[in-house]
Amino acid sequence: MTRSTSPADFSARSGLPTIGPETLRLWTELEARFLRWAAEFDAMPVRYPPLLSTADLDSLDYFENFPQLAVLGSRIRGDAAAKYARAGLPGPEVDAADLEPAGFALPSAACYSVYLDLRGTRLAESRRVTTVATCFRHETHYDGLRRLLGFTMREIVCVGAQADVLDHLARSRQAVTGFLSELGLPIEVRPATDPFFDRDGARSVMQRLFPVKEEFVFGDDLAIGSINFHRNFFGERLDIRQAGGDHAFTGCLAFGVERWISALTTHFGETPAQLVARIQAASR
């Protein structure tokens, strides 16, 4: 029995990726790189629930901002389940009339769970957390590992005093750009629009004064990561407070794992094993 890989070691159909053994080795190396940064930043690893409640997301304006992206989790109504148990599905899909109301949504970003988990707490000191999540976004089109319905996001988050959050983001920016420069992957750090703040005039002014989102962009438009400053939006909405009683500030460094694989493979045109060696060399 050989360990042969399929001709293409990764593929994506309808926005859903399959990652073969050699590319998974590259994946593991990237995750190890991200986790070393998390350890350097003193972030504790946590694994959060794979589903979020729609009510929780609504309290963060999620449905006002991204209603079209959401992937909702629902179940089959009892009467329909009895019908299916006799004859299977009547067609390729489950009709909406056979579904119960959806009380869950699949995460569209990893860090919502960090803030929701801290709801109503007062932090003795600023806190850093790292987490990884399978995230989901309905898009109008999908494109290989570049744009997926289901993808993987690793984040390193800071919650607490504004100065600590800004320091976390500055260190994140420096660590990532330094590593990518060492690696030889050309990226541009570009300010981007955080849709959370699009709709609010006052916040838009703030955004012009201080960038709230910067992306690490490979090629024309592939953001393989981003740095996000949410000010005290999540702190206010979820009543997360600093030691002194002020609402907590939050910010995160986010990576799209599949997009790193796409960018590395496209740029260097090498095997996953060669790319692993490059990452190890650049990490030294």
* Of the candidate residues 7, 8, 101, 210, the single one contacting its own copies (CB under 8 A): 101
Residue located via tokens 């750090």? 189
122 close to 238: Cβ distance less than 8 angstroms: no
Q: Does 198 bind its own copies (CB under 8 A)?
A: no
Output 53 or 232, the one with its CB closest to its own copies: 53
Say which DSSP state 281 is in: H
What minimum distance in Å lies between the beta carbon of 182 and its own copies?
27
Give, as ranges, the residues between 59 and 78 that touch its own copies (CB under 8 A).
Answer: 61, 63-65, 67-68, 70-76, 78
CA 127 to each of CA 43, 96, 121, 230, 251: distance values in angstroms, whole numbers, following the listed order: 8, 42, 12, 15, 11
Extract the tokens encoding 62: 């999620």
Q: Does 55 bind its own copies (CB under 8 A)?
A: yes
Output 85 or 209, the one with its CB closest to its own copies: 85
Q: Looking at 41-49, 171-179, 180-188, 265-273, which segment touches its own copies (CB under 8 A)?
A: 41-49
Output 55 or 202, the one with its CB closest to its own copies: 55
Q: Does 146 bind its own copies (CB under 8 A)?
A: no
Q: Does 189 bind its own copies (CB under 8 A)?
A: no
Q: Does 44 bind its own copies (CB under 8 A)?
A: yes
Output 168 or 187, the one with its CB closest to its own copies: 168
Pairing of strands 213-218, 127-136: unpaired
User: Which phi and psi (to 5°) does residue 234 adopt?
Assistant: -70, -35
Residue 13 β-bridge partners: 16
Q: Does 86 bind its own copies (CB under 8 A)?
A: yes
Q: Does 178 bind its own copies (CB under 8 A)?
A: no
CA 149 to each of CA 8, 31, 139, 141, 174: distance values in angstroms, whole numbers, following the listed order: 20, 20, 7, 9, 30
Give, as ranges, the residues between 105 and 124 that touch its own copies (CB under 8 A).
Answer: 106, 113, 117
Pairing of strands 127-136, 44-45: parallel
- What does the alpha-carbon distance between residue 261 and residue 241 come to, in Å, rounded to a whole number? 38
Extended strands (E) in 163-221: 187-191, 213-218
* Of the candidate residues 21, 184, 186, 191, the single one contacting its own copies (CB under 8 A): 21
Q: Does 245 bind its own copies (CB under 8 A)?
A: no
Q: Does 87 bind its own copies (CB under 8 A)?
A: yes
Q: Does 241 bind its own copies (CB under 8 A)?
A: no
Binding-site size for its own copies (CB under 8 A) equals 75
105 close to 56: Cβ distance less than 8 angstroms: no
